[in-house]
Each structure stands twice: as C-alpha cells, then as structure tokens.
C-alpha cells in the first residue's frame, strides 16, 4: 500500500521543505499523510473546479504547486466558496500537499523546467546561490556494534556524497571509562576502570535530516551514554537558488523571442516592456510566478531580457528606464510544472513499485482571459 507519506518523502528528497522561502506555507495542506493513495492528481492550483475534477476521477491525493492555504481560516463559513472547497475535500477524503518555493529553488525543479521550455543553456541561478547546511557526525562505538550503527545511519540518510551512498569513515581506537554506582554498562563492571576496543564512525548529512540521523544513532548504539561530536562543515552542501539566467543557443530579435515564448508556453498573448522589438537578445533571465521585484538582479546578471509574471505599472516604468526588456506571460506560465510533475511521479512509482496512477489536471486555472 502506497501512502501520501511515501510519495511526499520521495519528493522531499528532491525538493526539501527547507528550500522554501521564509513564511511560505508549503507541505501538507489538508488531510492525512498516512492516507493510502491509488490515484493522485498534479496541478498548479487547487480551485473548486480542480476539486470537482479530482472527485470525478476518484483521486485520493492532490499535489499542487501553489499552496491552497496562504492564510489560516478564522471562520469555517460554508457560504464561502473557498471553505466549501475544503469541506468537499474532507467529505471525499482527499489529501492536499503543496510544493511552492521549495520546488522553485530546487535544482531540476520549476525554474529549470521553464528554462528548458524556452531553450536556455548554460544556466545559473538568478538569485543566490545559497548552500545547504551540512553536518558531520563522529560517534564512538564498540567494534562489535559498528556495522549495525553504520547501516542504521545510512538508512536514515547519512553518508550521501554526490552519487555515492552509505559513505562513512572509521578509525580504530581504545575507549576508557569507569562505570559509577548507578551506571548500567554495556561493557565492564561498576566501580572498575574499563578499556574497550572502539571504532570512531564519521558520516555527513544535510541539516534537514538531523533529527532522523540522531534517532538512528540512538536506536543502533548499545551504550547507555553515547559519546559523539556533531558540527557543521563548509563546502559540501548542494547549492540552489531562485530563478535562472541562461543563453539562447543563437541570438535572435526580441520579436522572435516573444513568438518563441508564446509557442513554448502555449499562450495567445503576453505583455512586453521594451523600447525596441527588433533589438537582438541572447542572454535571458527568468523567474516563475511573480518575480518583478527581482528585475535589478536580472540587470546585474547582464540579461538582455527578463521573463516573469505579474509586472505592475510603476515597476514596468522602472524596468523601461533601466533599459531592461521584460516579457510578462502572466503568473500562470508555471503550468509547465504539471506534465513535469506527472512524469516525475510516474517514474518514481515505477522505481518504487507503487501501485499508483498519476494524472495531470486537464483544467486551465488561469483567472485571466485574452479577448
């Protein structure tokens, strides 16, 4: 039986919640992580029509990019369409999870999908990059229990170095201790100085796995009192950042690039900020969703054109004054995550032997219409 927790755990190895921007309400939105899943629906937005689609398709789990709940409910008034939607989800036992800015920041996530969609190469983050915090654990254990400890730490996620797992280092030595009156020693006798052949086991792990790695250490160590060192290390964490800056394979006019965006993003029209549609562009910055306030970063990264949504009137004037070309395809251009998420979860289901059907929404949740 596959549960929501199984699916979420796999996903959070790809896009940990710790990558989300401060205050972003990612994660479980409604329901139960232990709920069994036979059918799941991936979507950009969770709207009343999305919920009705999920009910009609007998879906157990909705995985969304945009959080369903940006603000807490103060009154569960069912005359509100939003609250009625929550009631329908509860009634039909559908769990909802959201991966927002953690998916935006993840390597191989939302902004890389957008960059690939627009044909960008040699990409780097627009914002950042930041490095994930990494810890090293050094723990002293009897030689006879070292293998069990190393195995337990590896199962908890410690010892992943690039494409290598279960990585550790051991050093043999002698441990000395005197069990006092109330001690219950695994080795030795109360009141007598003892020496034991021990192994110092060292592993690294990302900060997000700290609790589970320490739990594994306690669960797989035989000593009553465990001696260990835990400290942060630099230079080993994966780097990540919001948005992307990359190159078009060949220079082209801004007018041609606009047509490329319309075709790639499947939108009939978009807004453009420029004073010359026929100028040549090649270096492109992009940020999925609402990225207008980050236009100075696009200028710093020497972008010829910046693709992002929700550009406001006065900000557009500032962009124009700074000679930055901007293409605004609307916030909904993040819909490109839907087929990518479907592909990702389908592949994981095959790898993990989950009996799971993964569907992408067939609805267009863009509230704007081009007429």
Point out the annotated binding site for a divalent metal cation: 65-66, 104, 331, 334
Task: Return binding residues.
Answer: 65-66, 104, 331, 334
CA-to-CA separations, 217 to 141, 198, 247, 286, in angstroms, rounded: 10, 15, 47, 43
CA-to-CA separations, 255 to 272, 292, 302, in angstroms, rounded: 10, 21, 19
Residue 67 φ then ψ, to 5°: -55, 140
Please report where in the chains the tokens 């270096």 appear, as a residue: 283
Query: Residue 29 is encoded by which pair of tokens?
Result: 């939105």
Please report where in the chains the tokens 């390597």 appear, as a residue: 107
Query: How far is Cα 58 from Cα 79, in angstroms, rounded to an integer?
Result: 25
Q: Indicate the SS3 state at residue 223.
A: coil
Question: Which strands, in side-by-side order, build the sheet including 95-98?
Answer: 27-30, 95-98, 61-64, 39-43, 357-360
Query: How far is Cα 341 from Cα 14, in angstroms, rounded to an integer?
Result: 12
CA-derived radius of gyration, the chain? 26
Burial call 4-36: b when 16+ CB within 10 Å, e when fewer: bebbbebbbebbbbebbeeebebbebbbeeeee
Please report where in the chains the tokens 């989300």 appear, as a residue: 20
CA-to-CA separations, 76 to 72, 84, 87, 99, 148, in angstroms, rounded: 10, 9, 9, 24, 50
Please report where in the chains the tokens 């990612």 appear, as a residue: 26
Q: Which residues contact 240 (CB under 8 A, 6 or more apart)?
A: 19, 105, 106, 107, 125, 128, 129, 130, 132
Q: In this structure, are residues 179 and 185 in contact, taking their beta carbons and an 8 Å threshold?
A: yes
Q: In this structure, are residues 254 and 277 in contact, taking their beta carbons and an 8 Å threshold?
A: yes
Query: How far is Cα 167 from Cα 159, in angstroms, rounded to an integer?
Result: 4
């Amino acid at each position: 039986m596959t549960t929501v927790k199984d699916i979420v755990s796999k996903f959070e190895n790809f896009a940990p919640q710790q990558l989300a921007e401060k205050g972003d309400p990612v994660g479980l939105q409604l329901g139960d992580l232990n709920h069994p899943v036979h059918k799941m629906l991936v979507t950009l937005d969770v709207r009343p029509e999305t919920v009705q689609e999920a009910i009609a398709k007998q879906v157990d789990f909705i995985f969304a990019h945009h959080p369903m709940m940006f603000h807490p409910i103060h009154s569960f008034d069912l005359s509100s369409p939003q609250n009625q939607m929550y009631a329908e989800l509860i009634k039909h036992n559908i769990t909802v999870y959201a991966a927002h800015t953690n998916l935006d920041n993840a390597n191989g996530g939302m902004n890389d999908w957008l960059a690939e969609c627009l044909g960008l190469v040699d990409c780097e983050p627009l914002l950042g990059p930041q490095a994930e915090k990494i810890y090293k654990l050094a723990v002293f254990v009897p030689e006879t229990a070292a293998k069990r400890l190393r195995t337990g730490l590896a199962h908890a996620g410690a010892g992943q170095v690039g494409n290598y797992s279960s990585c550790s280092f051991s050093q043999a030595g002698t441990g000395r201790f005197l069990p006092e009156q109330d001690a219950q020693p695994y080795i030795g006798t109360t009141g007598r100085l003892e020496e034991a052949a021990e192994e110092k086991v060292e592993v690294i792990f990302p900060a997000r796995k700290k609790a589970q790695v320490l739990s594994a250490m306690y669960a797989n160590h035989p000593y009553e009192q465990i001696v260990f060192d835990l400290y942060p290390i630099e230079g080993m964490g994966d780097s990540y950042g919001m948005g992307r800056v990359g190159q078009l394979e060949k220079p082209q006019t801004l007018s041609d690039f606009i047509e490329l965006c319309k075709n790639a993003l499947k939108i009939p029209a978009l807004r453009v900020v420029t004073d010359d549609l026929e100028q040549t562009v090649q270096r492109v910055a992009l940020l999925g969703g609402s990225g207008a306030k980050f236009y100075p970063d696009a200028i710093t990264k020497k972008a010829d054109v910046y693709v992002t949504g929700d550009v406001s009137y006065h900000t557009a004037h500032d962009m124009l004054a700074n000679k930055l070309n901007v293409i605004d395809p609307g916030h909904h251009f993040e819909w490109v995550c839907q087929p990518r998420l479907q592909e990702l979860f389908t592949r994981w289901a095959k790898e993990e032997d989950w009996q799971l059907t993964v569907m992408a929404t067939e609805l267009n949740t863009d509230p704007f219409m081009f007429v």
